[in-house]
Amino acid sequence: MRRWRQPALFVAVGTAAAAVHWGVAVAAVEHLGLAPGWANVCGWLVALCVSFAGHWRLTFADRPVHPWRAARRFVVLSASAFALNAAAYTLLLRWQVARYDVALAFVLLAVAILSFLANRHWAFARAS
């Protein structure tokens, strides 16, 4: 059971952060009239805070990592994941594969899988 605790917490925190990202982005389009690409940036910035706090306090709480070290690495990984997110989202929007909100949900899910591995093995890795 303990083996699945960390991935389960990652999914829970990631789901909350993705919901915040998606909700902020959709609200920015629908209520503020922002273009979907800019709304995506707004969503990511808010979700970044939610995600780090959750992963620091829950997912990787058992790892003795200095918070500033983890935060710097987390931001680098999150920005890299967001660059991948933005590129994939832009392509899906350009190709009109799905509605903007459905395309964003798909991209958020795909990037989350890569993010777990990178965070586990680098951002929140035990100091050597």
Domain segments of the chain: what residues?
A: 2-123
Average pLDDT over residues 5-9: 88
C-alpha 48 chain-centroid distance? 7
Q: Give the per-residue pLDDT at 1.
A: 54
The CA-atom distances, in angstroms, between 61 and each of 4, 24, 47 are 15, 27, 19
Looking at this protein, which amino acid is placed at residue 124? F
pTM: 0.75
The CA-atom distances, in angstroms, between 80 and each of 74, 75, 86, 87, 114 are 10, 8, 10, 11, 11
- Mean of per-residue pLDDT scores for the chain: 88
Per-residue exposure over 31-62, b if at least 16 CB sit within 10 Å of its own CB, e if not: eeebebeebbebbbebbbebbbebbbebbbee
User: Could you tell me which residue, 2 or 55, shows the higher pLDDT?
Assistant: 55
Reported as a pLDDT band with limits 50, 70 and 90, residue 114 is: confident
DSSP secondary structure letter of residue 34: -
